[in-house]
Amino acid sequence: MKFTKSDIKDQELLTRLIKEEADRIFNSPSARKERSYDQVFESCSKGKVAELYMVESGEYEFADLRWHDLKKDGEYYEVKSYNVKDWGAPWIASDLKRYKEATWCKATQYMLFSCINGEYELLGIRKIK
């Protein structure tokens, strides 16, 4: 599965979702960490494109829990879009461990997208819990 931002049907919704999430993250010091608003916005932009594409596919819906991404058949999915070609980046293993150990996280699946030069590719889904 490959796509780009231009494949998103509802661009207005995409823009709104990115801004809402960027604002929410930036206004939470623990979520923001040391990132600038522009850095948070860029990160949200990458992730929301993948999330909305999956929702528009009809297989997934947006999660009904705060800080969660997608839901399908009662399971929650954490969606990540990174500038990677495979699962080998060390921060991916860190992400998986962090979500597995997080008491607030209800996600059972981790969906990884490669996002290089604006082109997205689903690298796969791995079980978290």
Residue by residue, pLDDT tens for the chain (129 residues) are 899 999 999 999 999 999 999 999 999 988 888 999 999 999 999 999 999 999 999 999 999 998 899 999 999 999 999 999 999 999 999 999 999 999 999 999 999 999 999 999 999 999 997
Indicate whether this model's pTM tops 0.95.
Answer: no
Q: Closest by alpha carbon to 129, among 76, 88, 64?
A: 76
Instruction: Report pLDDT for 102.
Output: 93
pLDDT computed for residue 67 by the predictor: 86
Closest CA to 68 of 82, 83, 80: 80
Q: For the residues of 27-55, what is the DSSP string, one character each? A: T-HHHHTT--HHHHHHHHHHHHHHHHHHH
Domain extent at residue 64:
2-127
Are 105 and 66 in contact by the 8 Å Cβ rule? The answer is no
How many domains is the chain partitioned into structurally? 1
Give the pLDDT score at 29: 85
Please state, in angstroms and rounded to a whole number, the distance separating the CA atoms of residues 106 and 31. 17
